[in-house]
Structure 1
């Protein structure tokens, strides 16, 4: 049975579209339009506010689709001496200098639909327009995290059923490390079955996850970055492997309080541990959040909102040219295939 968009919902939805048309200086939103610079900046800022981890990383606007990375990472030591009687001083370049890893902003679609039944259900909410906008912003923000941590490649046409973690939308940060800086990727040794694994526990090289993390810092992170606010971003299972034995024990009230305090200040080795939505299980990424970026090509946020009565809905087509960038690979270590053995 067809659903009819109620008069109240239509009035509010039309007002929502009129607001978008006005701030973007277009007659209507049915025809595709490039979002104006000021609203574009506000939308990007809203993405960051909608997901806690996005607040910590960089979201840089860039003019060109391709180019050199712009992160202000030092990347090397710069101090030195020069006998200028013999040779001229040689300034050390700072920032990203890896010409083999230029950014490449390609189109990502963030298309959504609003069924009449949803708009009808919200019609009496005084903040109808804000709710609709917040829902879309939240969905896009979480998808950016999902791509950043799970994206493997860019398919001509992505398949959400086959790749529910958006693996085929775009290369994310972890895949960039695997491809560009394999020396910053530790996935363990062959366990005899052809699969690599990092075994943790008695009788293994690493007795604890803490030991693994400290080893990783000392052996893989460039010396100038070891005291620069590194954190351990981890997936499902890593923290529970460490803290479950502490919490899953009958204790007196004092011990319970101590255990909860320890868990509240979660650490892996000497680093703050951070669990982020959509991050792969049994995986740790050691870096600083500001070493991760999303570059958005200015002027490429394109939008179009139209009705599809044959589907009892409206559609909001949104696309943007973007890329997920690791600024300095020497400031990263990706550890995968972690297996804690009891």
Structure 2
């Protein structure tokens, strides 16, 4: 049955679109327009407010679609001596040295359909425009996390049914590690048939997840990075495996308080641990927050908001050229296929 956009909802929605057009110096949102730098910066800040993890990592605006990575970091030690009677001093470059791993920003579409029945229902809210904006912003922010942690390849046309975690939209951080730095990828032992497991328990090499993390730091993270703000990023199940026995025990009030304090300061090994939405199960990423970046190419954030009455909806069409970048592979370790014995 056809749905009509109610006059009050139409008035509010038109005001919402007019605000966006005004902020970007265009007459209407019906035709595709390039989002201006100031609104772009506000939208990036809104992404960060709606997905806390995006506050912690780098979101860099860049001019070129391809090029060398730009994070301001030192990829090695820098101290040394030089006999200048024989040769010139050799300064250590700031930033990435891996010229074989340049960033490559390609288009990602973040198109949001708003059914008229939804807009009609929301017309009674005094903060209609704010709710609508937050819905769109939050959807985009969470999808950026989903791509970053689950993206495997870029298909010409993605299939959300076959790839519900956006595996076919773009290569994310974890896939970059698998492909570009296999020496920083621990997938466990081959248990037969091409199946790999990182087994945790009394009968295995790693007795605890804590032991696994400490092994990873010492064996895989470059020595100069081991004291530089490393964290353990993981899915919820990894933390449950460690802390559920503590929280599930019958305890007196003093012990309960102690258990909650321990859980509030979650650690794996000697590092702080953080659960992040959309992070894959049975997986751990050891790195620092500033080692993960999203590059957004300037001038490529395009948008249009149009009515589609044939579908009883309006659509906010958005696209941007972007890439998910690991700045220094020697400062990370990806551990997969983790299984903890009961």
Asked if these proteins are the same fold (TM beyond 0.5), I'd say yes
- Provide the residue aligned with 1:269 in structure 2: 269
TM-score normalized with structure 2 length = 0.98
1:76–1:94: 8 Å Cα contact kept in structure 2? Answer: no
- Provide the residue aligned with 1:20 in structure 2: 20
Structure 1 residues 94-133: aligned runs within 5 Å: 94-133=94-133
- Provide the residue aligned with 1:9 in structure 2: 9
Greater than 4 Å deviation, 4+ residue runs: none
Give the SS at the match of 1:324: strand
Give the SS at the match of 2:236: coil
Unmatched tracts of structure 1, length 5 or more: none
- Provide the residue aligned with 1:257 in structure 2: 257
1:236–1:282: 8 Å Cα contact kept in structure 2? Answer: no
Deviations for 1:290-333, whole angstroms, at most 9, x for unmatched residues?
A: 11000000010101111111111111110000000000111000
Q: Give the Cα–Cα distance (whole angstroms) in 1 for the partners of residues 339 and 234 of structure 2.
A: 13
1:111–1:318: 8 Å Cα contact kept in structure 2? Answer: yes
State the Cα distance separating 1:156 from its structure 2 match.
0.2
- Provide the residue aligned with 1:301 in structure 2: 301
TM-score normalized with structure 1 length = 0.98
Structure 1 residues 193-342: aligned runs within 5 Å: 193-342=193-342
Q: Give the Cα–Cα distance (whole angstroms) in 1 for the partners of residues 25 and 71 of structure 2.
A: 33
Give the SS at the match of 1:241: helix
- Provide the residue aligned with 1:81 in structure 2: 81
Aligned residues: 342
Unmatched tracts of structure 2, length 5 or more: none
1:31–1:304: 8 Å Cα contact kept in structure 2? Answer: yes
Give the SS at the match of 2:100: helix
Q: Give the aligned CA root-mean-square deviation in angstroms.
A: 0.9
State the Cα distance separating 1:230 from its structure 2 match.
0.5
State the Cα distance separating 1:155 from its structure 2 match.
0.2
State the Cα distance separating 1:192 from its structure 2 match.
2.6
Q: Give the Cα–Cα distance (whole angstroms) in 2 for the partners of residues 299 and 151 of structure 1.
A: 24
Structure 1 residues 129-168: aligned runs within 5 Å: 129-168=129-168
Q: Give the Cα–Cα distance (whole angstroms) in 1 for the partners of residues 26 and 258 of structure 2.
A: 60
State the Cα distance separating 1:146 from its structure 2 match.
0.3
1:282–1:337: 8 Å Cα contact kept in structure 2? Answer: yes
State the Cα distance separating 1:172 from its structure 2 match.
0.2
Q: Give the Cα–Cα distance (whole angstroms) in 2 for the partners of residues 195 and 149 of structure 1.
A: 21
